[in-house]
């Protein structure tokens, strides 16, 4: 440790769906704690990622992509995203360089105008555009809000991510190390396991199915005297037709979900995993407060 005072703080990552927030978080933390998919609304809960060095501890909150809600789950996600802005030391407003300015960004900027917290504009996916376009984007955005910094990055390739971390550290207040140095998230393993399974369903299905699923972990238990962990989980859908899609012909899709999930869960838990999956229909669960609570969306936690 040097003589410089230790710094720490909470950083909210905010932006339209699919701008690369989870990719950035996983890149910084160095392992998978946030699920990635090209489907909007992949992130539903706040995911806390903890990045610790000898000089600082940065605690990232990856919020659900800000969008106009269409159901109770959407309301919950929006409330979660906007509430974090009041609790943090710094806000990273991330945009997708490829897509440029859109109505979704306008909506977010309106939300950010009342925020007193310093805001960085993070332009992601710069590896996919010409440098001239990057300069145009910076010109377009710089007067929309009083940004503390504008930092172009590629979360996927890692370009400029270290510079962004340095800028964040400079701005953070002196503070304690909130978490042990080897802890990378405050989410229990049960939550991350459910998210890894949900990610595989997102990757393997399309149209209305991805938004209509929740994953509930029924059991995680180590077998007596064996290095095997039993994981039992239920994939919840809203309609019988979706159940058929998730199971697949002769159980083929569910088997593939299980195979891919088991690989990631074994990496996470560091042990051999026996995974059992079921699929259950819970009609219109996204609009029922009791179902949202049962599936881990607890409003009173935020």
Annotated binding site for GTP: 15-22, 62-66, 124-127
Q: From residue 111, how far is each of 47, 103, 145, 147, 268 by CA, in Å?
A: 21, 13, 11, 14, 36
230 - beta bridge partners? Answer: 221, 274
What contacts 36, CB < 8 A, 6 or more positions away?
22, 23, 26, 42, 199
DSSP reduced 3-state for 159:
strand
Whether the CB-CB separation of 46 and 302 falls below 8 Å is answered with yes
| Residue 288 CB-density burial (10 A; 0-12 exposed, 13-18 middle, 19+ buried) | middle
DSSP reduced 3-state for 20:
coil
Whether the CB-CB separation of 254 and 247 falls below 8 Å is answered with yes
- Residue among 79, 99, 90 nearest 19 (CA): 99
- Residue among 65, 34, 71 nearest 49 (CA): 34
Annotated binding-site members: 15-22, 62-66, 124-127
Structure tokens of 127? 């590896």
DSSP reduced 3-state for 248:
coil
**CA dihedral defined by 166, 167, 168, 172, rounded to 10 degrees?**
100
């Amino acid at each position: 440790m040097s003589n410089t005072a230790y710094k720490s703080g909470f950083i909210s990552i905010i932006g339209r769906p699919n701008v690369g927030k989870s990719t950035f978080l996983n890149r910084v933390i160095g392992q998978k704690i946030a699920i990635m998919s090209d489907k909007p609304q992949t992130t539903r809960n706040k995911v806390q990622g903890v990045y610790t060095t000898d000089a600082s501890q940065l605690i990232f909150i990856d919020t659900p992509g800000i969008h106009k809600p269409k159901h109770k789950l959407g309301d919950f996600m929006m409330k979660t995203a906007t509430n974090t802005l009041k609790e943090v030391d710094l806000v990273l407003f991330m945009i997708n360089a490829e897509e440029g300015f859109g109505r979704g960004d306008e909506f977010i900027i309106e939300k950010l105008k009342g925020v007193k917290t310093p805001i960085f504009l993070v332009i992601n996916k710069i590896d996919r555009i010409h440098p001239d376009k990057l300069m145009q984007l910076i010109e377009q955005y710089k007067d929309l809000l009083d940004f503390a910094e504008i930092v172009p990055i590629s979360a996927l390739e890692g370009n400029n991510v270290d510079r962004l971390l340095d800028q964040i550290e400079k701005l953070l207040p002196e503070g304690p190390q909130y978490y042990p140095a080897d802890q990378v998230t405050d989410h229990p393993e049960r939550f991350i396991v459910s998210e890894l399974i949900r990610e595989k369903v997102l990757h393997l299905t399309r149209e209305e199915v991805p938004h209509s699923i929740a994953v509930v972990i029924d059991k995680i238990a180590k077998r007596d005297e064996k290095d095997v962990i039993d994981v039992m989980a239920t994939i919840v859908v809203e309609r019988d037709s979706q159940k058929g899609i998730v199971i697949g012909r002769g159980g083929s899709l569910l088997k593939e979900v299980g195979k891919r999930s088991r690989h990631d869960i074994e990496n996470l838990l560091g042990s051999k995993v026996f995974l059992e999956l079921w699929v259950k229909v819970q009609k219109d669960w996204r609009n029922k407060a009791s179902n949202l609570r049962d599936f881990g969306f607890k409003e009173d936690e935020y």
